[in-house]
Amino acid sequence: MKKILIVGSTGQIGSELSKKLRGIYGRDNVVCGYIAPPYPDGFFEDGPTVEIDATNRQQIADAVKKHKIDAIYNMVAILSATAEKNPMLGWNVGMGALLNCLEVARELGCAVFTPSSIGAFGPGTPPNPTPQDTIQRPTTMYGVTKVAGELLSDYYFSRWGVDTRSVRFPGLISNLTQPGGGTTDYAVEIYYKAVAGEKFVCPIKQGTYMDLMYMPDALDAAVHLMEADPAKLKHRNSFNIAAMSLEPDMLYQAIKRQIPTFEMTYEVEPVKQAIAESWPDRLDDTCARDEWGWSPKFDLEAMTTDMIEVLRKKKGER
Ligand code: SER
């Protein structure tokens, strides 16, 4: 039976990943590392937890030894727009957490899953479709840490045999824990505003395409990649995965079909817009499909129906 440590388990991805992994591997086999509130409902009751500052290697090592962990999911990140405001924080947290996880994994014999991102690409990358192996010269600190992280993870695999695997996540749309400081956060906020009956002011210009994905597909990707037969993996860090290439008006129209009174206007935020324009429009995910059977389930309509239903339930509307 696998024993898993999630570092950064209270964030946008971590909070849902912990539930998913506990459902698969059993509540006591998934240890959730946390550093600060807000904690998802039932966080301390749902299974084992441990306080971990991911920039402190000893704390990770202690948790791995104590719980006899064999796979670490490193979900720690400072998202793109926040990292542009404080690049040193972006570097120290992003690289610090990853290097610490890799070192602990090397010493204690664990596998490591780390998210990379569409942010690992830059303006020189072919935007549509973006091949698996292509130019990676990002212009954000977030992207710099993601490229460095991909290289470092591949290095730990080839040099030390650490079982490192990762995917380049699109912007993730979810409804349990809101993201913070990301360029693609608009695609989450738009749903919260629509269900609250409020107007949404979009910070990204109409016509700006980026890859987006619904959280259940993103969680499936992490699990399937970590369960994949290593003999079939030609790539490791990181796989392009894709579900929907969308621009703001497409999201707006999809929501409006279900909530006809919903209104959206644009007030473009220059930092986020510049980041969005430097990222691809659509990733080519052929290698993920061929090497470990990646296949997303949610399209725009299915995601929109589910998002609205879940957020209405949360609001107590039905
Ligand atoms: N969602 C991230 C961001 O916008 C991209 O991976 O920063």
Choice among 34, 73, 142, 156 that is catalytic: 142
| Pairing relationship of beta strands 71-74 and 4-7 according to DSSP bridges | parallel
Encoded tokens for 45: 């009751």
Instruction: Specify the 3-state DSSP secondary structure of 219.
Output: helix
186 C-alpha to center of ligand 1: Å? 10
- What are residue 186's phi and psi, to 5 degrees? -55, -35
Query: Ligand 1: which atom is nearest the Cα of residue 118?
Result: 6
Residue 235: both structure tokens together? 């790539």
Q: How far apart are the first and last CA of the chain?
A: 39
DSSP state of 37: S
Helix (H) or strand (E) holding 50: strand 49-51
Strand order in the sheet with 164-165: 49-51, 30-34, 4-7, 71-74, 111-113, 164-165
Task: Assess whether 209 carries a catalytic annotation.
Answer: no
214-260 tens-digit pLDDT: 999 999 999 999 999 999 999 999 999 999 999 999 999 999 999 99
In one-letter notation, the amino acid at residue 184 is T
DSSP-assigned letter for residue 115: -
CA 84, CA 91: separation in Å to the nearest integer? 10
pLDDT tens by residue, 160-184: 999 999 999 999 999 999 988 999 9
- Answer whether 101's CB lies under 8 Å from 42's CB: no
Nearest CA to ligand 1 atom 5: 171
* pLDDT for residue 318 is more than 60: no
Task: Express each pLDDT in 262-308 by its tens digit.
Answer: 999 999 999 999 999 999 999 999 999 999 999 999 999 999 999 99
184 Cα: distance to centroid of ligand 1 (angstroms) = 5
What residue's CA is closest to ligand 1, atom 6? 117
The pLDDT tens digits for 105-151 are: 999 999 999 999 999 999 999 999 999 999 999 999 999 999 999 99
Confidence category of residue 316, pLDDT binned at 50, 70, 90: confident
Q: Give Rg (Cα) of the chain.
A: 19
Q: Which of 147, 169, 183 to mutate to test the pocket of ligand 1 (most atoms within 8 A of CB)?
A: 183
List, in sequence order, every residue forming a beta bridge with 246; answer none if it has no partner. Answer: 210
Distance from residue 68's CA to the centre of ligand 1 (Å)? 32
- Please tell me the residue having the least CA distance from ligand 1 atom 3: 182
Q: Which residues line ligand 1 (CB under 6 A)?
A: 79-80, 117-119, 142, 169, 171, 182-184
Burial of 306 (0-12, 13-18, 19+ CB in 10 A): middle
What is the whole-number distance in angstroms between the Cα of residue 66 and the centre of ligand 1? 33
